[in-house]
Structure formats: structure tokens, C-alpha cells
Amino acid sequence: MTSDTPRKGRFITLEGGEGAGKTTQINRLKDALTKRGFDVLTTREPGGSEGAEQIRHLLVNGDVARWDSMTETLLHYAARRDHVEKVIRPALEQGTWVISDRFADSTMAYQGYGHGLDLTVINGIYKLVLGEFSTDLTVILDLDTEEGLKRANSRAEGEDRYERMDIEFHQKLRQGFLEIARTSPQRCAVIDASSDADTVFNALWDVISNRLSEV
């Protein structure tokens, strides 16, 4: 890359079960990267663009059994396509670092490992919708399922359709995230999220600075 080539942004995602602390850590990470001179955009899924936020409303509210796993996956991918094309890709092209609270690994964990939709079908939808687009780094915050639900319930927000799913479902998706990390070690890192927020952030920062050479 010559000095005239615009610097491309990096795409980082945080993943994990309910209440793992993603939002808390993303805010800290944004501050730390901004202090080092990076332009940082934080966003979330489902949502992150105007259209995707409208689809989010259909996904996080209402009856637990409102969608079958295929319909739910297609809704997440419709939202994701809009989010990537309207927000994430343009920001990366401007050199902005984008940090998203959840992305495609959540579909694999929740709709695949959790709800049992065939993993190869989900991979096929990914390729169809996003092609070769991928994260530069995905950090999975791993936390005991019951502790995560306790933390999430303490917020009482209302967008709780997933939180109301049974404990076995949440345990399956926790194992799903660990399996994703095991099969994609170059792209993913797992952090123990059970400690206090400062300790978790120190572990997150170690991963960011070890894996991304610009930091």
C-alpha cells in the first residue's frame, strides 16, 4: 500500500449470549480506539440502518414461536444486507473502523445451533447475500447461560422475545458460539466474560492489539 492509498477501515464484531456485556465493552472499545486516533462507528444487529431497524422490530418483539427458523433467518439476512450496503461497507471504504454488536455469527448460533436450521443452508444464504464480505475480527464473550440471563433481565427493556426462549436453547447457542470460534480460529477469539467489566476489557484489548496490526 502506498502513502496515497486511502486506509481501509476494519470490521470488528462482538458476539455472545444474552447479557454477556457486548454493549458495555463496545462503548469502552470505541473510546480506546478513538483516543488512538481512529474514526470509529458503533452499530448493532438486528438493526443498524433505517430499514434494518424496522425489521428488528419484527424480530425482537412478540410471541416466542412467531417465526419458523427459516423465516427468521431470512429476516435477519434481509436486515443484514441493508445494514452492510447502507452503513457498514460505505464506512469501511471511508477508513472508519466499524464495531458491531452482533453480526452473522449470531444467525449461525441462534437460528442454526439454537433452533436447528441446517448450518450449510445458513452458510449458503450468507454467500448469496454477502458474498466474500466478512469480519476482520470477531470476539465472542463467553458467559455462563444463567448468569447472562440474570444480567439481561436486570435491564427490563421490553425487547425480550429471545430472552423468553428456554434455557436449553440458550445453552445450545453458547456451545454454538464456542464451536464457531473453534472452526474459525483466525477470525475469532473467545474471552471469558464472567469477571468485572475492567478485567473483561483488558482481555478484549489484548486481543484487539495482538490481532490487528494497526493498533
Enter the DSSP assignment of 66.
Answer: S
Shortest distance in whole angstroms from residue 142 CB to ligand Z5A: 11
Beta bridge partners of 71: none
- Determine, following the binding rule CB under 6 A, whether residue 200 of this chain makes contact with ligand Z5A: yes
In this chain, which of 10, 33, 46, 139 binds ligand Z5A, going by CB under 6 A?
A: 46
155 counts as binding ligand Z5A under rule CB under 6 A: yes
The one segment of 86-94, 153-161, 175-183, 203-211 that binds ligand Z5A by CB under 6 A: 153-161
Residue given cell 456485556 in the structure block: 21
Q: Which amino acid is at 112?
A: G
Ranges of H-type helices in the chain = 22-35, 50-60, 69-83, 89-93, 104-107, 119-130, 145-153, 167-183, 197-211
Q: How far is the CB of 209 from ligand Z5A (least distance, A)?
A: 20
Stretch that binds ligand Z5A, among 11-19, 86-94, 123-131, 202-210 (CB under 6 A): 11-19
Of 24, 42, 69, 134, the one binding ligand Z5A (CB under 6 A) is: 24
Alpha-carbon gap, residue 142 to 17, rounded angstroms: 7
What interhelical angle do 69-83 and 50-60 show, nearest 10?
A: 160
Confirm if 14 and 22 have CB atoms less than 8 A apart.
Answer: yes
Residue at grid coordinates 463496545: 26
Residue 95: CB minimum distance to ligand Z5A, A: 25
- The span from the CA of 15 to the CA of 140, in Å, is 5
Among residues 97, 113, 126, 162, the one that binds ligand Z5A under rule CB under 6 A = 162
9 vs 21 by CB, closer to ligand Z5A: 21
Per-residue x/- track, 26-45, ligand Z5A (CB under 6 A): -------------------x
Tell me the number of residues near ligand Z5A by CB under 6 A: 28
Which three cell numbers mark 198?
Answer: 475492567
Which residue ranges make up the site for ligand Z5A (CB under 6 A)?
16, 18-24, 45-46, 60, 76, 101-102, 106-107, 110-111, 151-152, 154-155, 159, 162-163, 196-197, 200
